[in-house]
Amino acid sequence: MQGVIDNDPYLWLEDVEGEAALAWVAERNAETAAALATGADFASLKDRLREVLDASDRIPYTVRRGAYLYNFWRDAGHVRGVWRRTTLEQYRKDTPEWEVILDVDALAAAEGEKWLWAGARVRHPEYDRALVCLSRDGGDAVVVREFDLATRTFVEDGFQVAEAKTRIGWIDADTVFIGTDLGPGSLTDSGYPRTVRRWRRGTPPEEAVLVFEGRSADVSAGAWHDSTPGFERDFVFRLLDFHRSETYLLAPDASLVRIDVPDDADSYAHREHLIVSLKSEWLGHRAGSLLAFGFDAFLAGDRTAEVLFTPDERTALSGHSWTRHHLILETMRDVSTRIEVLTPSPGGGWARKPLADVPALSAVTVVDTDPDISDEYFLDVSGFLQPSTLYHGQVGAGSEILKQAPAHFDTTGLAAEQFFASSLDGTRVPYFVIGPDRSAPGPALLYGYGGFEVSLTPSYGALTGRAWLERGGTYVIANIRGGGEYGPGWHRAALGADRSRAFEDFAAVASDLVARGITTPAMLGAAGGSNGGLLMGAMVTRYPHLFGAIVAKVPLLDMLRFHELLAGASWTAEYGNPDNEADRPHLRALSPYHQFTADRVYPPVLLTTSTRDDRVHPGHARKAAARLRELGHPVLLHENTGGGHAGAGDNEQSAHNNALTHAFLWQHLTQQVRPASG
């Protein structure tokens, strides 16, 4: 059969830095540039997207650490970015005075490395030292260096860790928990830490005391120190797979006490509470519920829970955040956010009331809170056509508008609506449509993800607005199964051999758009990245007649070898294990790379990836491009040399990649004519 590859002729393209592979990539990049990135229209589009990314009037979102609000910022003058801080008093101003803590551009220039910011672990509650993580050109692997926040310098002879997928966190001023690459046996099959050690200042990491270890087949192991004053505790965990874990209290005598919750539940200690988020039914509580127990009572065997949230068929938990005396709860009803405050009562029970009114088809996000001292919160509200507004408040004491983002694209004549499509098995699938009121079908772009319980909620997308909506296109977001829009059951419905349900949902939305007269197959494009790239591959092979063009970014496409490539082994709980004979048949059927065939007409395809993506191997996109070329199908490949799994390491690369995507889609979807599918 033409669509099946038993002896892969393109394995050589998996050699990430191989001379032959990179030469082949350079040829494909040149083809893509010639097809899409020439002429004044492309240059103008890219410049307008770069303008959004570099805009000085963006909201600089912050995280409170003690007296300061910290922010990481990139713009035209700070390509790699600056880590900086200010006070709330200054932050209220239109132009706050920022104290630069670390200039990543200056560091990269001084050291001759393409450093990118990968975050910092700041010591709590002193906020005097940080463990700064730096990525070389965007990979998930980082180097770690200790940083003095008072002197704004790296600590000579401080904690330093060589490049690896490291887990590290403070215990006290001279001790950290660390899991990193210390040679054979220290990593799992997925490439993450297998062991946890207590590392004291001034000693080699190889001599750090082993406190916990997982198994090679686990995704990873780790530890953290709860530094809440009066509730100091140590915890270790095994991530058994992407959806199951075991957590233990690490006692002072080094003994382990299992936090005995279901292994698919998320749990953590907060002061006197143990908070448990359920993914399956437990103790009579529904999957998707949020429960609170007394921590000490739970360890003593008491399973009396206070129910903080119970889902229904239309409502799911989106997130929650603590202030000093309250819990802020974010929920979704048909994928629109609601928010309320829960307050524990001294005699038991929790009082609840709304925190803020949220407009329809909008999203509200708790940006930051102060769980140690105050009931402060920072709240961001936005919508598809509504730029972000950042509120600052105290629970029970009102709020103020701190920042408002300006509009970055013209919304005249545009509207946002929600519709529901009926999938193949009758499931009701929600989707959002943003665009003009159409009297006739026009170009439309359908986006989806459908995996790992990730929810696609309303948000303001300035890049999409400028590149697509302003030009008359319609933008559509499909909330298909595999995501978390309706809780754990919505995710589980598309796991493993049932992954095809996510594909059917997406195809149902595509068909519904046509039935409503919003677009036609020739004018409908689709885009998705990572797991969404697998979704795009399925659209090419299963539903080519529904689309006029498809873009797959940093995609997962070879489902028989994904577990052998970089972090792929960590995703077998989501898809299945190719080494398991029971899973292999459905993985072969799901694998776009193995289903490409010459005897069907496929829509034009653009594949994008990054040489520095150490999460989803660039070989997926490379091999798919080679196979499609071999079979005579229209395909372009763009591989950025840096950027990691994000595909872009700075605003210039991001603007270029987005311009390529939209130039490709507009070019093909405004032709309006395609030959019929075979």
What residues are annotated to the active site? 530, 645
Contacts of 306-312 with C-beta under 8 Å, sequence gap 24+, read 306/348, 306/349, 306/350, 308/275, 308/342, 308/350, 310/285, 310/286, 311/286, 311/287, 311/486, 311/487
d(CA 624, CA 618): 10
Structure tokens at 65: 């650490």
Query: Got the DSSP string for 303-332?
Result: ---EEEE--BTTEEEEEEEE-SS-EEEEEE
Instruction: With beta carbons less than 8 A apart as the criterion, state whether 432 and 480 touch.
Output: no
d(CA 240, CA 246): 7
In single-letter form, the type of residue at position 227 comes to S
d(CA 50, CA 659): 10
Q: How far is CA 413 from CA 78, 298, 385, 472, 529, in A?
A: 36, 56, 11, 10, 29
Instruction: With beta carbons less than 8 A apart as the criterion, state whether 188 and 214 touch.
Output: yes
Q: How far is CA 574 from CA 36, 211, 262, 563, in A?
A: 35, 30, 18, 11
d(CA 640, CA 656): 10
Instruction: With beta carbons less than 8 A apart as the criterion, state whether 271 and 228 touch.
Output: yes
Is the peptide bond prior to 125 cis by the omega test (within 30 degrees of 0)?
yes
Coil, strand, or helix at residue 523? helix
Q: How far is CA 264 from CA 118, 241, 285, in A?
A: 28, 10, 14
Coil, strand, or helix at residue 457? coil
Query: Which DSSP letter does residue 347 get?
Result: T
The owner of tokens 């001379």 is: 19
Coil, strand, or helix at residue 271? coil
